[in-house]
Amino acid sequence: MGKTKHLGLSAERLDRITETLERKYVAPGEIPGSLIQVWRRGELAYTGITGSMDLERGKPLREDTIFRIYSMSKPITAVALMILVEQGLIGLDDDVATHIPSWKNLAVFAGGVPGAFITTPVKRPMKVIDLLTHTAGLTYGFLARTNVDAAYRKRKVADMPNARGLEGFIEDLAELPLECSPGDAWNYSVSIDVLGYLVQKISGETFGDFLRSRLFEPLGMRDTAFHVPAEKIERFATCYVARPEGGIKLQDDAQASTYAAPAIFESGGGGLVSTAGDYMRFCRMLLNGGELDGARILSPKTVALFSLNHLPGGKDMTELGLAPALFNEAGYAGVGFSLACGVTIDVARTRLPGTVGEFFWGGAASTAFWIDPKEDLAVVFMTQVLQSPHHISLRRDLRTLVYSALTESDA
């Protein structure tokens, strides 16, 4: 325990994390490998690495491996938007149509099929906060639940390899109905991609340039971007997909990946790649009240908004979700939604150790992070498996193992 005692952590119990990941997930072939970092009280308390970054080539996972972080892009986009909010260029209560005039007449799906939709008027205008909290009435095509989803798939809305770019994405959405009236329900969606468009339009820079100049360079996030350049491709992890019968198979070979080319569609909702070290620097900035190593990104009061539940009526996602059984990135009970992140609002209902106000999210390839300001704790977890049936149990194991290593609580 010695080297981590001053951090209020047990070294022996921290070692259980990687031991458990190896035994339950890596050795049985459910994930290719794992990388976890735990930061507490101003120090990197633990790094655990096991398994492979490329099974076919026998390449062991490295600390500087580059991963597809998918929806862990969302909090980064939220921070980019909040930079503009702090400059007075946009407000969370602004009508979205103020910034996207072509959306002024968006209406709600009432019936029909793509090309012959029947709609009704919205109950109230869509607000910027609705985009941040997935209560805007938008959706994702991959949810495959409704005729609106079908229209998204037909148009390839937010389809990263095939999309027309952020402007074309906004034009597509202007012609499609909403799933529900803004504020009525939580529905996972392309709304964070819309925020990326807003950042681009308001700043006058491409979204990628804005992220690079205002976030990644100031924070020293050298490997975070919308593509992997040729000189870094050897550090890029191959991505896998779960087999229905168990185990995994190749999904995206790192050496022949579409991520090797610059992105046409810079997706703030799911397009970034990063390393555990880079993403931990992002988390540390938020844990430190918006500043890291002399680079002030946001004010402490703005960062505090990430620890609050912004869902209408203070509800959690089980109470406001349209179809919680179809999509579950972290478990819903006791979880509200803040600024593009889940937030714990009732620890008992989560049935996991944790803290009210901790905020978190995950990515489609089973990556995850969380930030617990009261415990002065941040955790980043990386692997690369899509459609894993184990991603919820994996994330619950991570929570249990990390919090079980605490010997002192600051909360």
Residue 238 in any domain: the answer is yes
The pLDDT assigned to 322 comes to 74
Q: Are residues 138 and 244 in the same domain?
A: no
Torsion of CA 144, 163, 360, 351, to 10 degrees: 10
Q: Are residues 163 and 258 in the same domain?
A: no
Q: How confident is the model at residue 162 (pLDDT cuts 50, 70, 90)?
A: low
Q: Are residues 158 and 262 in the same domain?
A: no
The residue type found at 155 is: R
Q: Are residues 336 and 370 in the same domain?
A: yes
The pLDDT assigned to 144 comes to 80
Q: Are residues 286 and 240 in the same domain?
A: yes
The pLDDT assigned to 171 comes to 94
Sign (positive or negative) of CA dihedral 142, 146, 149, 153 = positive
Q: Are residues 362 and 244 in the same domain?
A: yes
- Put the strands of the sheet holding 342-344 in their side by side order: 59-60, 43-54, 33-40, 377-382, 368-372, 359-362, 342-344, 335-337
Number of folded domains in the chain?
A: 2
What digits encode the pLDDT tens for the residues 165-178?
999 999 999 999 99
Q: Which domain holds residue 124?
A: 83-203
Q: Are residues 96 and 192 in the same domain?
A: yes
Residue 341 in any domain: the answer is yes
Q: Are residues 237 and 382 in the same domain?
A: yes
Residue 369 in any domain: the answer is yes
Residue 181 in any domain: the answer is yes
Residue 163 has pLDDT above 90, yes or no: no
The pLDDT assigned to 290 comes to 98
148 three-state secondary structure = helix
Residue 219 in any domain: the answer is no
Residue 307 has φ and ψ, to the nearest 5°, of: -90, 5
Residue 355 has pLDDT above 80, yes or no: yes
Question: Distance between CA atoms of 259 and 411, rounded to whole angstroms?
Answer: 41
Residue 344 has pLDDT above 80, yes or no: yes
Residue 212 in any domain: the answer is no
CATH of the domain at 89: 3.40.710.10
Residue 218 in any domain: the answer is no
Residue 237 has pLDDT above 70, yes or no: yes
H/E element, 118: strand 116-121
Q: Are residues 156 and 294 in the same domain?
A: no
Q: Are 386 and 239 in contact (CB under 8 A)?
A: yes
Question: Distance between CA atoms of 52 and 240, rounded to whole angstroms?
Answer: 12
With pLDDT > 90 as the criterion, what percentage of the chain qualifies?
88
What digits encode the pLDDT tens for the residues 207-235?
999 999 999 999 999 999 999 999 999 99
Query: 144 versus 209: which is more confidently predicted?
Result: 209
The residue type found at 341 is: C
Residue 239 in any domain: the answer is yes
The pLDDT assigned to 114 comes to 82
Q: Are residues 372 and 393 in the same domain?
A: yes
Q: Are 398 and 379 in contact (CB under 8 A)?
A: yes
The pLDDT assigned to 325 comes to 45
When mean pLDDT is compared across 105-119, 125-139, 317-331, the lowest value belongs to 317-331
**How far apart, in Å, are the Cα atoms of 276 and each of 45, 281, 396?**
14, 9, 19
Q: How confident is the model at residue 385 (pLDDT cuts 50, 70, 90)?
A: very high
Where is the domain boundary, 188, 203, 218?
Answer: 203
Q: Are residues 42 and 116 in the same domain?
A: no
Mean pLDDT, range 243-252, rounded to an integer: 95
The pLDDT assigned to 1 comes to 41
Q: Are residues 279 and 169 in the same domain?
A: no
In order, the DSSP letters of 260-278 are GS--SS--TTT--EE-HHH
